[in-house]
Structure 1
Amino acid sequence: MSAPVTAAALAHADDLAGFVAAAPSSFHAAAEVARRLTDAGFEPLDETEAWRVTPGDRRLVVRDGAVIAWVVPGGATADTPFHIFGAHSDSPGFKLKPQPTTGRAGWLQAGVEIYGGPLLNSWLDRELRLAGRLVLDDGSSVLTATGPLLRLPQLAIHLDREANDHLALHKQTQTQPVWGLGNAASADLLAELAAAAGPDVDPARIRGYDIVTADAAHGAVFGKDDAFFASGRLDDLASVHAGLVALEAHEHADASHIAMLAVFDHEEVGSGTRSGAAGPFLADVIERIQLGLGADREQQLRALAASWCVSSDVGHSVHPNYVEKHDPVVQPLLGSGPILKINANQRYATDAAGAAAWHGWCDAAGVTSQEFVSNNAVPCGSTIGPITATRLGMRTVDVGIPILSMHSARELVGTADLLALSRAAAAFFAG
């Protein structure tokens, strides 16, 4: 049975909509997490400088499109363990290619390549933004985000009478969005991005860029009793936001563990980067905190053995039009609470101990949890959970909220589930 959508749940969804609008790329997501936590009293650190760790610290560090933030309790010692809530900042879509200003037949187009595994047809006939970072000739980076600029117009039914029977987009020739009219030789898409970054950014100074597309529409609550919330990038900004809200409000009176939010980039393309979960970022930050607390190797290993990671990413809700694609018994539903994700082949890191711990945190939060397991004939994806467990040897459990239209340009979740996940994250940080 679905949970009622309370005023608090609506306020949380509205806050998420604003967060998504402010985070059209992974770089913007990391920056927005850092901005909000800084406003909440966290101190940003620089990886290139020496860190001094003191019990009572509330700190954060950004690495490209990833961010890690933590609260060191007042009674922390060299072997204090960690409670880490992990999520990712990137989403499937399109990424700008080199020499991006292209065009044909009087149209200006953007040269893009496919990033991750987007549901391609969902990007048709909607206004899109470009967002990401520009790296200038002095090595500095600036964030940029346009307003609605691009569109992938679908071919009219009159010109493809079989489109409703088998729509299949060619990944090169039919995925290049339009952004204006004219001759590509006299246009400059990078100049548009420079202008969006600010009046002081000269496009001639741009030496590199990481720019992606994002749906320009704002997130919205709708449906009977406001049951649904739709937005772009809910995979996985819904989890990032849940952990952010929980950490913003977290107090450090409990000396039993260090509460940490770890937001990684590049999950949708395998996580194997310096800012991805398979890279060294999390291990680097943990080690620097431990060294700052005076830990030797023995104490470091004891702390990791007693630590927990909750890996939070969206999972499939049962779809009423495709029920046969789901497990015939275990069928999580939007609005009925967060999900515990289970897979026999360890695509998720959850085991019995993790399941028991997760249910305990949900009970403490007053949250009902569901379970997700795949249909045996329909393999599931994976998450940062198994990567974190493998790299650090840390007990890890995979969770999330149920979703429809995963990897669409605009995804659908239950309004009540958003706040429920954040409350479970808060209980995890607290206990």
Structure 2
Amino acid sequence: MNIPAAARAQAQDLLDFIDASPSPWHAVRECERRLQAAGFSLLEESERWTLTPGDRRYTVRDGASLIAFVVGEKAAAAAGLTLIGAHTDSPGLRLKPKPAEESGGMLRLGVEVYGGPLLATFADRDLSLAGRVNVRTADGFASRLVRFEQPLLRLPNLAIHMNREVNEAGLKFNKQTELPLLLGVAADGSSAEARFRQPLADQLGVDPAELLTWELLAYDTQKGSFWGVDGEFIASRQLDNLASCHAALAALLAAPPTGSTRLITLFDHEEVGSESAAGAGGSFVADAVARLAAGAGLDVEDQRRMLARSFFISADMAHAWNPNFPAAYEPGHHALVNAGPVIKSNANQRYSTTANSAARFMGFCARASVPCQQYAHRTDLGCGSTIGPVVAARLGIASVDVGSPLWAMHSIRESAGVLDHAYLIAALSAAFSA
């Protein structure tokens, strides 16, 4: 398979983006770095917004959700808004508030399961810690990002000699007793909590007593890579859904300065239902849209006209056809890797796609000269959902659910196609240029 150099470069940039983003907070910081380099400036939610056509701005809520936009030159009431949404979080293992415990001479860290990961894939991996820590200051506390580059943790498998049925029954973990992560050997005269706090304090350059609270997760330290006979595939952690975040950001940065107002909305907490202040079910996007309308001087009537002309693209990874498990797929709806963006449909509105919105996205793909595919879940399997129906309901706007095909969704190491990422960026760029 011929992989153009430009597509390979975009895939490598995606892998670099993911490597810089082991947690949702790191992902937002990396987005900020790229936005600022492109001339975007921060708007604090607590300040008054003054906006003019051509402004390139962004705002952040709770460190892990971000909205960035280019204020268009066309009248908002007549042109509407074009929005692309994705999510910054991924399923996995997150540390409890007091995680450290000693067990049989070993130091373990207690975890909670976040979302719906493929737990078996976390076993025997080089894991480490990343997230945010609140440190005591003279004024109260300051939130600091932390990331350990070296492997700190492990979830060792039980040997087959003690689990003879594992290859027939599958690898299963009791979430309370068998998922705690090994950190080290217990030390005489030092408590488990002290052994856990010390490396955190050393990493942040503070005294352990200054550590107040944290939100930390276990991440896979193995970097992303190309694979396949022609290097036509990529493998990495967090492709779901940092690949969509990267594609949305790339499309916004490439958007022309003229036209309608364009936004990207990157939310935390999608994997656990979106119902939070920083999630798609909160007020973040509605607040930003209302402030954009106010900045354009729109009255209530014109705000309604603006929303009626707006369009939302919910970008989240799609289930790629896996030939080893043909019975898991709906016949006639096999989403092939490296065959283009997938339009996802569900009659019960687990996806927000309608016939009209699907046709509209097909038009963007045609304008970008990229192929597209359609996907529906097997009727006898439960279908996951996205931010698409949530945002469409909150704002009352037309919406479509799309995404690049992905193997092993929610594994600690997922796989996708190099061409598909380039195709998605091109399609989203076409939407922003419409």
Describe the superposition over 1:251-300 as per-residue Cα deviations: whole angstroms up to 9, x where unpaired: 2222xx21111000000000000110000000011111111111111111
1:376 matched to which residue of 2? 379
**Preserved CA contact (<8 Å) 2:314 2:400:** yes
Q: Offset at 1:365? A: 1.0
C-alpha deviations, 1:372-405, integer Å up to 9, x for none?
Answer: 1111112210000000111110100000011111
Match of 1:267 among 244, 265, 270: 270
Amino acid across the alignment from 1:343: N
CA distance in structure 2 between the aligned counterparts of 1:350 and 1:75, rounded to whole angstroms? 27
Please point out which of 395, 401, 404 is paired with 1:398: 401
Kindly state the Cα deviation for residue 33 of structure 1 after the two structures are TM-superposed. Answer: 0.7
State the shift of 1:8 in Å: 1.1
Give yes or no for contact 2:133–2:144 (8 Å, CA) kept in 1: yes
Which letter does structure 1 place at the counterpart of 2:44?
D
Structure 1 position 389 matched with structure 2 position 392? yes
What is the alpha-carbon distance in structure 1 between the residues aligned to residue 123 and residue 11 of structure 2? 26
Question: By how many angstroms is 1:306 displaced?
Answer: 0.4
Work out the CA distance in 2 between the residues paired with 1:190 and 1:79.
56
**1:401–1:417: 8 Å Cα contact kept in structure 2?**
yes
- Give the match for residue 209 of structure 2: 204
Shift in Å, 1:80:
4.4
Residue in 1 that maps onto 2:347: 344
**2:196 corresponds to 1:189:** yes
Alignment of 1:6-25 (within 5 A): 6-25=4-23
- 1:121 maps to a residue whose letter is A
Taking the aligned partners of 2:123 and 2:279, their CA distance within structure 1 comes to 29
Per-residue Cα deviation, 1:50-89 (whole angstroms, up to 9, x for no partner)? 1111111000011121000000123445554111010000
Task: Quote the sequence identity (%).
Answer: 44
Match of 1:188, SS? helix
Q: Is the 8 A contact 1:144 1:194 kept in 2?
A: no
Deviation at 1:156, TM superposition (A): 1.0
Distance 2:427 2:154 in 1: 38
Equivalent AA in structure 2 for residue 250 of structure 1: A
Aligned to 2:144: 142
Q: Which amino acid aligns with 1:44?
A: L
* Alignment equivalent of 2:369, drawn from 337, 348, 366: 366
* Separation in 2, partners of 1:39, 1:191: 35
Task: Please point out which of 33, 36, 48 is paired with 1:35.
Answer: 33
Paired residues of 1:145 and 1:193 also in contact (CA < 8 A): no
Q: Which amino acid aligns with 1:219?
A: G
Counterpart-to-counterpart distance in 1, 2:296 and 2:128 = 44
CA deviation after TM superposition for structure 1 residue 192, in Å: 2.1
Check whether the contact 2:341–2:403 (CA below 8 A) recurs between aligned residues. Answer: yes
CA distance in 1, matches of 2:93, 2:416: 23
CA distances 1:225-252 after superposition (whole Å, capped 9, x unpaired): 1121110001100000001111112222
What is the aligned partner in structure 1 of residue 46 from structure 2? 48
Q: Determine if contact 2:78/2:309 at 8 Å carries over to the other structure.
A: no
Instruction: Extract unaligned runs of 5+ from structure 1.
Output: none
CA–CA separation in structure 1 for the residues paired with 2:57 and 2:32? 10
Query: TM-score, normalization: structure 1?
Result: 0.96
> Deviations along 1:149-186, whole A, 9 cap, x unmatched?
11101011122222212222111111111121124715
Gaps of at least 5 residues in structure 2 are none
Which is worse superposed, 245-254 or 218-227? 245-254
CA contact (8 A) 2:76 2:261 kept: no
Matched, 1:328 2:331: yes
For these two proteins, the number of residue pairs brought into alignment is 425
Aligned counterparts of 2:47 and 2:19: Cα–Cα separation in 1: 32
Counterpart pick for 1:228 among 223, 230, 233:
233
Alignment partners' CA distance in 2, 1:352 and 1:328? 20
Paired letter, 1:211: L
Structure 1 pair 298–232 and aligned structure 2 pair: CA distance change class (3 A): same
In structure 2, relative to structure 1, the CA distance for the partners of 1:134 and 1:356 (3 Å cut) is: same
Change (3 A) 1:202 1:284: farther
Paired with 2:199 and 2:368, the residues of 1 have a C-alpha distance of 47
Mapped to 2, the partners of 1:31 and 1:274 lie a distance apart of: 19
Residues 110, 176 of structure 1: 8 Å contact kept? yes
RMSD over equivalenced CA pairs, Å = 1.4
Residue 4 of structure 1: how far off its partner (Å): 3.8
TM-score between the two structures when normalised by the length of structure 2: 0.95
Q: What are the superposed Cα offsets for residues 191-223 of structure 1, whole Å, 9 maximum, x if unpaired? A: 323333x32x33322222111121111111110
The residue aligned with 1:319 is: 322
Amino acid at match of 1:156: A
The 1-side partners of 2:197 and 2:317 are apart by 34
Could you tell me whether the CA contact under 8 Å between 1:79 and 1:300 is conserved in 2?
no
CA distance in 2, matches of 1:405, 1:399: 18
Give, as a single letter, the amino acid of the residue that structure 1 aligns with 2:224: G
* Mapping 1:123-162, distance limit 5 Å: 123-137=122-136, 138-147=140-149, 148-162=151-165
Q: Which one-letter code corresponds to 1:104 in the other structure?
A: S
Cα gap change, 1:308 to 1:356, in 2 (>3 Å): same
Select 1:173's aligned residue among 165, 177, 202. 177
